[in-house]
């Protein structure tokens, strides 16, 4: 029996190997020449710690728009992970010893290198993730922008000098880097989220170990190759920006590893809850960017032209796969019918603009995986079962790839299970309200608290929305969509969205440790509370 089983396993391995050998890869097609321009090959090592290697499973990356194989990647093993962390720790001793302005100069060069490759890397994002080309290029631009931001930060980071109550004394705050920062990013923003974390972490003196999504490994490799060239040119250890392609086992190892001083995790709330517990058990630090059941409120005095444009962008952008995607549209009863009518008209036009993400005419790309399509279909079925009306959309498209119709659902209550659940797809629920107070209550009623927006011209309503009894989200907008955050502000949410902040404002503080320093420059020694030892 064991011999028979061994023969079957061996046969399957041979069949897989032959299948791979006979498989046509997009990277071999001249139409996709930008792949080789990024340094990618038919088979790519998926681990970098100053050198490229990989000793794990060979996986294939597929385009969600066609299902075609792009290229292969050799994943990392547990031993490969250990090698990465070891080298990151060694590199930290070199990197943290450099001046902050010099580190900022290296980050500036990384930003320039990304600028030089922005079109090709943006195309890869569109090909492997599935978002349309302007979004793919725009995502790389976010990494460029945060590099610019971090360069300035490298010359301003620091703490205050505080007045002491004791004569001849001074109080200081001193900030130092943590050590190794781990970044686990999701498929939907495979470049930008890493960039938000890496640019700040590097400028602050940390080394970084990155694990991207298993379905966007080529993006992780290509991005790291760009950074690695900058480090090599400046004689900086490559493990300053290490990377490993791996599955859940690698992510779990990062969460449990005491050598990872800070772990930034972007992903689902259920997985994020587990990650948070694992990190907390070892008293580590974490930044959790999880789910978002985001709402946009349309007040009775809102500019409906702005409402429609903003809602369509927030609902359909990235095929509904942003953490800030609009999922609940809360509309005052006086303008509800008009908003619904206009939305349906625009949605009908967008249906005809689905297609190849690399085509400049395309407005709607695919969902990232077949599993996402299945979840979309299950959610639509559940909405119907609960009494919802599909105003437009509601079906997977009959074409190659993972395409679904943007969908508007009406007739459900705000507390319906399907409305309270985040579905990573272009589905929006329209909810009718009588007042702003009712709308705010609905906005705050879900478990997540990422992004929210109010459309109104009334200053009183605006400040009610911004105050202690307004939105409970980390992002609280007025007259703009729920998505499209700028890098200059802190990004993150409340409740089951996780906690912590990335990108701008004072998010840099999470990547450093603070020490309060008291210096006695006098010849006296006054003790606290007036105590005298004689």
Per-residue confidence of the chain (534 residues) as pLDDT tens digits?
A: 333 333 333 434 433 443 444 569 999 999 999 999 999 999 999 999 999 999 999 999 999 999 999 999 999 999 999 999 999 999 999 999 999 999 999 999 999 999 999 999 999 999 999 999 999 999 999 999 999 999 999 999 999 999 999 999 999 999 999 999 999 999 999 999 999 999 999 999 999 999 999 999 999 999 999 999 999 999 999 999 999 999 999 999 999 999 999 999 999 999 999 999 999 999 999 999 999 999 999 999 999 999 999 999 999 999 999 999 999 999 999 999 999 999 999 999 999 999 999 999 999 999 999 999 999 999 999 999 999 999 999 999 999 999 999 999 999 999 999 999 999 999 999 999 999 999 999 999 999 999 999 999 999 999 999 999 999 999 999 999 999 999 999 999 999 999 999 999 999 999 999 999 999 999 999 777 777 776
Phi, psi of 330 (to 5 degrees): -100, 115
Tokens, residue 162: 């505080």
- pLDDT score at 531: 76
- Distances 56 to 47, 227, 245, 256, 257 between C-alpha atoms, Å: 10, 23, 9, 21, 20
- pLDDT score at 177: 99
Tokens, residue 353: 């603009």
- Distances 6 to 14, 207, 279, 368, 400 between C-alpha atoms, Å: 12, 44, 40, 35, 37
- pLDDT score at 372: 98
Look at residues 222, 20, 8 and name the one whose alpha carbon lies nearest to residue 123: 222
- At 431, is the secondary structure helix, strand, or coil? strand
Whether the CB-CB separation of 319 and 425 falls below 8 Å is answered with: yes
Q: Is 289 a catalytic residue?
A: yes
- pLDDT score at 236: 99
- pLDDT score at 419: 99
Whether the CB-CB separation of 226 and 121 falls below 8 Å is answered with: yes
Look at residues 414, 454, 432, 419 and name the one whose alpha carbon lies nearest to residue 337: 432
- pLDDT score at 526: 79
């967008």: which residue's tokens? 350
Q: Distance between CA 457 and CA 462 in Å, rounded?
A: 8
Look at residues 164, 391, 183 and name the one whose alpha carbon lies nearest to residue 285: 183
Give the DSSP letter of residue 395: S
Exposure string over 173-203, b if 16+ CB within 10 A, otherwise e: eebebbbbbbbbbbbbbbbbbbbbbbbbbbb
List the catalytic residue out of 87, 128, 289, 502: 289
Tokens, residue 438: 């009712």
Tokens, residue 155: 């010359």
- Distances 427 to 221, 334, 404, 406 between C-alpha atoms, Å: 32, 23, 10, 6
Which domains, from first to last, does the chain contain?
26-290+504-512 (3.40.605.10), 294-488 (3.40.309.10)
- pLDDT score at 442: 99
For the stretch 79-131, pLDDT in tens is: 999 999 999 999 999 999 999 999 999 999 999 999 999 999 999 999 999 99
- Rounded to the nearest 10 degrees, the angle between the axes of helix 133-153 and helix 100-116 is 160
């990277």: which residue's tokens? 27
- pLDDT score at 5: 36
């Amino acid at each position: 029996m064991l011999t028979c089983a061994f023969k079957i396993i061996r046969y399957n391995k041979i069949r897989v190997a032959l299948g791979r050998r006979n498989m046509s890869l997009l990277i071999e097609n001249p139409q996709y020449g930008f792949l080789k321009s990024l340094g990618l090959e038919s088979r790519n090592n998926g681990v970098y710690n100053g050198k490229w290697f990989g000793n794990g499973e060979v996986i294939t990356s597929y385009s969600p728009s066609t299902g075609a194989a792009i290229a292969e990647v050799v994943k990392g093993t547990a031993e490969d992970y250990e090698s990465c962390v070891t080298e990151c720790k060694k590199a930290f001793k070199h990197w943290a010893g450099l001046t902050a302005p010099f580190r900022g100069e290296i980050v500036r060069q990384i930003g320039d290198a990304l600028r030089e490759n922005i079109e090709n890397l943006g195309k890869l994002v569109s090909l492997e993730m599935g978002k349309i080309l302007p979004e793919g290029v725009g995502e790389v631009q976010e990494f460029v922008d945060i590099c610019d931001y971090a360069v300035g930060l490298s010359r301003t980071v620091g703490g205050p000098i505080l007045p002491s109550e004791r004569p001849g004394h001074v109080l200081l705050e001193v900030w130092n880097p943590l050590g190794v920062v781990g970044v686990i990013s999701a498929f939907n923003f495979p470049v930008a989220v890493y960039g938000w974390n890496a640019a700040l972490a590097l400028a602050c003196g940390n080394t970084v170990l990155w694990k991207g999504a298993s379905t966007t490994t080529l993006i992780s490799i290509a991005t790291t190759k760009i950074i690695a060239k900058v480090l090599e040119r400046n004689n900086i250890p490559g493990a300053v920006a290490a990377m490993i392609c791996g599955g859940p086992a690698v992510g779990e190892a990062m969460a449990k590893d005491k050598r990872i001083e800070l772990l930034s995790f972007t992903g689902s709330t259920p997985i994020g809850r587990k990650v948070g517990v694992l990190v907390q058990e070892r008293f580590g630090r974490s930044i959790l960017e999880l789910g978002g059941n985001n709402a946009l409120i349309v007040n009775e005095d809102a500019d409906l032209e702005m409402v429609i444009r903003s809602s369509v962008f927030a609902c359909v952008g990235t095929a509904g796969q942003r953490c800030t995607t609009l999922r609940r549209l809360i509309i005052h009863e006086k303008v509800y019918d008009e908003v619904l009518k206009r939305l349906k008209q625009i949605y009908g036009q967008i249906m005809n603009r689905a297609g190849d993400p690399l085509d400049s005419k395309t407005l709607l790309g695919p969902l990232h995986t077949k599993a996402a399509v299945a979840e979309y279909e299950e959610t639509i079925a559940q909405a119907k079962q609960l009494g919802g009306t599909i105003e437009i959309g509601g079906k997977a498209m009959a074409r190659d790839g993972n395409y679904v119709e943007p969908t508007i659902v009406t007739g459900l209550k705000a507390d319906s299970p399907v409305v309270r659940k985040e579905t990573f797809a272009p589905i929006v629920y329209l909810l009718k309200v009588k007042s702003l107070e009712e709308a705010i209550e609905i906005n705050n009623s879900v478990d997540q608290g990422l992004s929210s927006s109010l459309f109104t011209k009334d200053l009183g309503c605006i400040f009610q929305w911004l105050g202690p009894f307004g939105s409970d989200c980390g992002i609280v907008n007025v007259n703009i969509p729920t998505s499209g955050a700028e890098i200059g502000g802190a990004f993150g949410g409340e409740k089951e969205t996780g906690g912590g902040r990335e990108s701008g404002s004072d998010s840099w503080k999470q990547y450093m440790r603070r020490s309060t320093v008291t210096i006695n420059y006098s010849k006296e020694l006054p003790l606290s509370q007036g105590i005298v030892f004689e």
